[in-house]
Amino acid sequence: MKNTFLFLILLGLTFQTFAQSEPNIDQLADRVESKVIEWRRDIHQNPELSNREFRTQKLIAAHLKSLGIEVQTDIAHTGVKGVLRGGKPGPVVALRADMDGLPVKERVEIPFASKVKSTYLGKEVGVMHACGHDTHVAILMGVAEILSDIRDQLKGTIVFIFQPAEEGAPPGEEGGAKLMIKEGVLENPTVDVAFGLHISSGLEVGKIRYKPGGAMAAADRFVIKVKGQQAHGSRPWSGVDPIVIGSQIVMGLQTIISRQTELTKEAAVITVGKFTAGVRNNIIPEEAELVGTIRTLDMEMQDMIHEKIRKTATLIAEAGGATAEVDIQIGYPVTYNNPDLTRKMLPTLFETAGEDNVLVSLPITGAEDFSFYAQKVPGLFFFLGGMEKDQDALTAPGHHTPDFYVSEDGLKLGVRSLCNLALDYMEANSK
């Protein structure tokens, strides 16, 4: 009887020691939450445009260095790479946050609203974190603090990627994920897997959305130049009107989507966002220019739509006696969540947020340059709820608008999610 009692005591002490050795991410996230909110407010109040995130870079680098994390700042202009080597061997996990704001003047009435002005394409503009990248940076800074506290227990290495210019580099410059990869962010050490998140103003706080496979669209840009023959506006028959022909091309492009694309397979969009022609009311100009975007979620459909755009524009112009030059510029690829990785990490998201709060998303025709990382290594990118619980999703201000708003109540779930994804992946894949 005494031996049995002694055995139970020893067994209890063993379990207690084991439990104490396991990191309690929830408690650590509680401890860092106020800092995350403070960082977020500071970054929100001091937004910077793409490739100009100098202040944000200094803030991040100083924080990572204070945690004893290896820091590299001479990457992709203003990017920051942090390397945290765990106490045990294992895989290399990349966690990514984007840093840049947008040329949008803030209208939200909050104490830390942005009053910053800058120059964009030669014009003075307001600058605002109108897509939530301030929250992404703050969340990953919190993750870095937590994981550095338990580095001795980490079974592998964490690479923190703080990336500039997700919204696109200024004209004539390189930037964003593509440049970070080009300059070696996924090397030394070689990254095995990448995780990222994006806050959503239309998803309730406490919830997560994900989609296996193609989650966000490829984004390509097109320019169509229609060349006609200039004439007096009173005698259109003496020339070739590129404005009329350009208008016919705009309508023809829409039939590519509505009549020639298998939309039950995946969504696709063609939008003409800019139509420029002419200088005077009574002069038919010689040239019209159409500029737009193509969004696709399937690579075969992407190729087909590109070819259809060229053919449609060229033949409509030819039928009207004009010519059309079509230039399609490849942009961000499809943001692809590796299905096997997504399936394996779902239990982590369920455990972190509660299974009822983890929802499968429909495809999104917005684009994300996390897609470049996911082309190189298996990736999982998910959406984090930032909408107040009493808000109607249909009336929630959208991203990239002056009224964009997200609740700070959702930030702690973002911290917990990235911590748990990294820890669980390393646990399952360490030798």
Same domain, 239 and 109: no
Short-list 62, 21, 153, 145, CA closest to 415: 145
**Cα distances (angstroms) measured from residue 63 to each of 67, 68, 86, 142, 145:** 7, 9, 18, 10, 9
Same domain, 233 and 369: no
pLDDT at residue number 90:
98
Give the per-residue SS3 of 336-368.
EECHHHHHHHHHHHHHHHCHHHEEECCCECCCC
CATH number of the domain bearing residue 254: 3.30.70.360
pLDDT at residue number 16:
44
Candidate list 48, 106, 210, 332, residue with the active-site label: 332
Report the range of poorest mean pLDDT among 106-110, 409-413, 427-431.
Answer: 427-431
Considering the domain boundaries, does residue 272 fall inside one? yes
Candidate list 33, 70, 325, 408, residue with the active-site label: 408
Same domain, 83 and 230: no
Same domain, 192 and 137: yes
Same domain, 104 and 165: yes
Distance from C-alpha of 419 to C-alpha of 421, rounded to nearest angstrom = 6
Return the biggest CA–CA distance within the chain. 111
Distance from C-alpha of 211 to C-alpha of 352, rounded to nearest angstrom = 17
Same domain, 63 and 157: yes
The last residue of a domain, from among 273, 298, 332: 332
Q: What is the dihedral of CA 189, 383, 28, 67, to 10 degrees?
A: 40
pLDDT over 60 (residue 311): yes
The last residue of a domain, from among 315, 332, 349: 332
Who contacts 337 (Cβ-Cβ below 8 Å, separation ≥6)? 210, 211, 212, 213, 215, 374, 379, 380, 381, 382
- What average pLDDT does this structure show over 349-376? 96
Asked about 425 being catalytic, the answer comes back as no
Same domain, 165 and 59: yes
The predicted-structure confidence for 88-121, as pLDDT tens digits, reads as follows 999 999 999 999 999 999 999 999 999 999 999 9
pLDDT at residue number 8:
43
Same domain, 196 and 253: no
Considering the domain boundaries, does residue 133 fall inside one? yes
CATH number of the domain bearing residue 174: 3.40.630.10
Only one residue has tokens 């920051």, namely: 80
In contact, 328 and 220? CB cutoff 8 Å: yes
Considering the domain boundaries, does residue 299 fall inside one? yes
Same domain, 316 and 193: no
Considering the domain boundaries, does residue 407 fall inside one? yes
pLDDT at residue number 431:
77
Domain that holds residue 328: 218-332
The predicted-structure confidence for 4-62, as pLDDT tens digits, reads as follows 444 444 444 443 443 345 679 999 999 999 999 999 999 999 999 999 999 999 999 99
The last residue of a domain, from among 292, 309, 332: 332
How many structural domains comprise the chain? 2
- Beta bridge partners, 64, equal none
Same domain, 295 and 349: no
Same domain, 320 and 197: no
- What average pLDDT does this structure show over 366-389? 97
Asked whether the CA dihedral 166, 172, 173, 178 is positive or negative, the reply is positive
Asked about 332 being catalytic, the answer comes back as yes
Residue 302, both tokens: 């992407």
Confidence of residue 3 (pLDDT cuts 50, 70, 90): low
The predicted-structure confidence for 234-259, as pLDDT tens digits, reads as follows 999 999 999 999 999 999 999 999 99
Same domain, 303 and 396: no
In contact, 399 and 131? CB cutoff 8 Å: yes
Considering the domain boundaries, does residue 12 fall inside one? no
Distance from C-alpha of 228 to C-alpha of 226, rounded to nearest angstrom = 6
